[in-house]
């Protein structure tokens, strides 16, 4: 979101700069003369610049003698409060600032023109908002300076103008904010659609589905955490599958092993029931002890079934027990001898005691 904020600041600054340029252009359009005052007066200035100093005075006097309205189609009607066409004041000064034309001029206006001429001489001429004259140096020697009154239309009320320009800047800032929000919303919606598609694939059983991370911002870090969680879920489900397969295999083996003690008990019970009167007491006692061992073995298998029910619990811990493999093998030999008395089985072992963990 820091990058989005920086993007918003950049876009806002861009729109603000454009609005400032636009408002400056409109301000010049409202107040500055060069956007409107072109035509005959500009051509007359160029004419003055090409003729000799003696002819300039005659041209100015001749233009004044022609009267208003002849060469200016844009001249406003009399009584409108605006300046008339050729009656726009034109001033001609020599290099010392002495008035050449007209013969008389209001001292305040002469001061304004002299200030413009001084700026031209010093090379610091620069238009200032609100000036009523424009001046330029004419070619030739001796130097002469020509000035004329600007044809300014009455400006709009100051408050209305400021409000209008401020509204443009405010609208630009609002537009920049809206553009930034649109960019942020578009980016978040694209990532949200991607996340929705990945979650649907996971729900359908595709555990390999992952979010595509393009940049490690705040949203990218969240997507990375989601992918990590999906990896852990995939590993957990794979482990559960392996555990379930192992339990099924063990259940099949236990089902097979359960038949052995059941068959042994059945055989012992049949032997005792059918030949109890014929068997010696010692042999009968051995058969009963063997039946007891088979029952204990059967009980152990039942415990193993219960163990399978507990092994899937999250808090289950493996319990290690020690037992003698020789006793286990001897028990199996006795069970086989009882079931198959015609077979003689001899068990011998000289190896060390074996231990098995698992």
Of 61-75, 140-154, 192-206, 210-224, the range with the lowest mean pLDDT is: 61-75
**From 82-86, 144-148, 287-291, 322-326, the region with the lowest mean pLDDT:** 82-86
- Looking from the CA of 85 toward its CB, the CA atoms found within 13 Å total 17
- Residue 34 pLDDT grade (very low, low, confident, very high; cuts 50, 70, 90): very low
Query: Would you say residue 9 has pLDDT above 80?
Result: no
Alpha helix stretches (DSSP H) within the chain: 2-31, 40-50, 53-66, 107-122, 158-203, 218-275, 281-310, 325-339
Q: What is the pLDDT of residues 48-78, one digit of tens each?
A: 888 888 888 888 888 777 655 444 444 444 4
Residue whose entry in the numeric block shows the structure tokens 């013969």: 103
Give me the pLDDT at residue 356, please. Answer: 52
Who wins on pLDDT, 118 or 316?
118
Q: Which CATH number fits domain 234-317: 3.40.50.720, 3.40.50.2020, 3.40.50.150, 1.10.287.130?
A: 1.10.287.130
Q: 134 near 33, Cβ under 8 Å?
A: yes
Mean pLDDT value across the chain: 73
CA–CA distances in Å: residue 334 to residues 65, 104, 149, 257, 330:
150, 148, 134, 16, 6
pTM of the model: 0.36
Tell me which DSSP letter residue 133 carries: E
**Mean pLDDT value across residues 268-280:** 77
Strand 90-94 and strand 99-101: the pairing is antiparallel
Identify the residue with better confidence: 171 or 46. Answer: 46
Is the pLDDT higher at 288 or at 36?
288
**Confidence class for position 283, pLDDT limits 50, 70, 90:** confident
Q: Smallest Cα–Cα separation from 265: which of 230, 290, 246, 237?
A: 290
What are the tens digits of pLDDT across the range 163-209? 665 666 677 777 777 777 777 778 778 878 888 888 888 888 888 88
The answer on pLDDT for 280 being more than 60 is: yes
Enumerate the domain spans of the chain: 234-317
Backbone angles phi, psi at 355, to 5 degrees: -125, 140
**Structure tokens given for 325:** 């493999």
Question: What is the reported pLDDT for 80?
Answer: 36
**Per-residue pLDDT at 249 exceeds 60:** yes
Stretch 43-49: mean pLDDT: 82
């Amino acid at each position: 979101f820091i990058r989005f904020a920086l993007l918003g600041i950049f876009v806002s600054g861009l729109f603000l700069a454009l609005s400032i340029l636009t408002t400056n252009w409109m301000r010049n359009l409202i107040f500055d003369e060069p956007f409107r005052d072109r035509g005959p007066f500009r051509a007359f200035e160029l004419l003055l610049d090409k003729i000799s100093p003696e002819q300039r005075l005659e041209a100015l006097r001749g233009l004044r003698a022609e009267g208003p309205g002849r060469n200016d189609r844009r001249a406003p009607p009399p009584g409108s409060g605006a300046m008339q066409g050729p009656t726009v004041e034109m001033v001609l000064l020599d290099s010392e600032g002495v008035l050449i034309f007209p013969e008389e001029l209001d001292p305040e206006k002469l001061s304004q023109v002299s200030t413009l001429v001084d700026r031209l001489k010093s090379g610091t001429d620069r238009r200032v908002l609100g000036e009523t004259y424009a001046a330029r140096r004419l070619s030739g020697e001796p130097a002469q300076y020509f000035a004329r009154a600007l044809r300014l239309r009455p400006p709009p009320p100051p408050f209305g103008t400021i409000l209008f320009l401020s509204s443009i800047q405010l609208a630009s800032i609002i537009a920049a904010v809206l553009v930034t929000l649109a960019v942020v919303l578009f980016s978040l919606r694209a990532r949200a659609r991607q996340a929705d598609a990945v979650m649907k694939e996971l729900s359908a059983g595709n555990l390999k589905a992952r979010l595509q991370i393009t940049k490690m911002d705040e949203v990218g870090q969240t997507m990375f955490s989601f992918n990590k969680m999906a990896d852990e879920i995939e590993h957990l489900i794979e482990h559960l599958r392996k555990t379930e397969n192992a339990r099924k295999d063990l259940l099949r083996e236990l089902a097979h092993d359960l038949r052995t003690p059941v068959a042994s008990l059945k055989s012992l019970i049949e032997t005792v029931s059918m030949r109890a009167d014929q068997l010696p007491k010692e042999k009968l006692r051995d058969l009963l002890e063997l039946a007891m061992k088979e029952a204990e073995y059967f009980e152990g298998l039942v415990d193993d079934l219960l163990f399978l029910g507990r092994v899937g619990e999250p808090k289950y811990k493996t319990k290690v027990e020690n037992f003698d493999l020789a006793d286990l093998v001897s028990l199996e030999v006795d069970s086989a001898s009882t079931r198959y008395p015609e077979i003689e089985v001899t068990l011998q072992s000289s190896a060390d005691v074996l231990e098995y963990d698992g």
